[in-house]
Amino acid sequence: GVFQKAVICSVVPAAVSIVKSEIKAELGIRALVIGEDIKVPMNNKYKNPRQVGQDRLVGAYAAMTLYGKPTIIIDLGTAITFDAVSQKGEYLGGAIVPGIRLSAESLFLKTALLPQIDIKAPNSVIGRTTQESILSGLFYGYGSLCRGFIDLIAKQIKGKPKVVMTGGHTQLMKKFINRDIRVVDEELVFKGLDLLLNSKSAV
């Protein structure tokens, strides 16, 4: 067939078994699962290593392999995750914050008068309508949060870390991160899956 290999990376165990059996039925391929069939080859310093989402490990591995270490990875998805990789290539842990869209939706759900809005960069920090104020809060608030976390995490790591940004809101937020230290790679996790699938860590 056209497809020879398949790999699954998910933090929803029920979804893994469904997708795995669908791939087997439709394509006749046994899909490999990250964390089961393929271990991410990093020294994981989490207190309980099994608690780290495999997507976070794959992103950290890809960033370290492709862009060097130490590294801070920011994934701007449903949740915003910050992950730290040491000079030795250890996965150190990080931080998790509700994502931009989640925050916007929680405002709309809890406050009847707030309008649903398209998430985009506002014209000014000081909003002069409710809509502008929400956009300012999301855009500059999360921008400041990203910058602040980079500074805080960098103080905990030896060496000057490269910042790798990925995820759906990367283009919106990248202006807040100094161009000298950041790499934008919206395909980071997919590149990590490719690296792992074609490496010796596949069991």
Known catalytic residues? 55
Determine the Cα–Cα distance for residues 190 and 62; give it in Å rounded to an integer. 9
Where does 15-109 show beta strands of DSSP type E?
32-33, 43-44, 71-76, 79-85, 90-98
Helix (H) / strand (E) containing 191: helix 188-197
Residue type, 60: A
Determine the Cα–Cα distance for residues 34 and 158; give it in Å rounded to an integer. 29
Residue type, 112: A
CA 120 from chain center: how many Å?
Answer: 20
Nearest alpha-carbon partner for 102 in 136, 127, 122, 76:
76
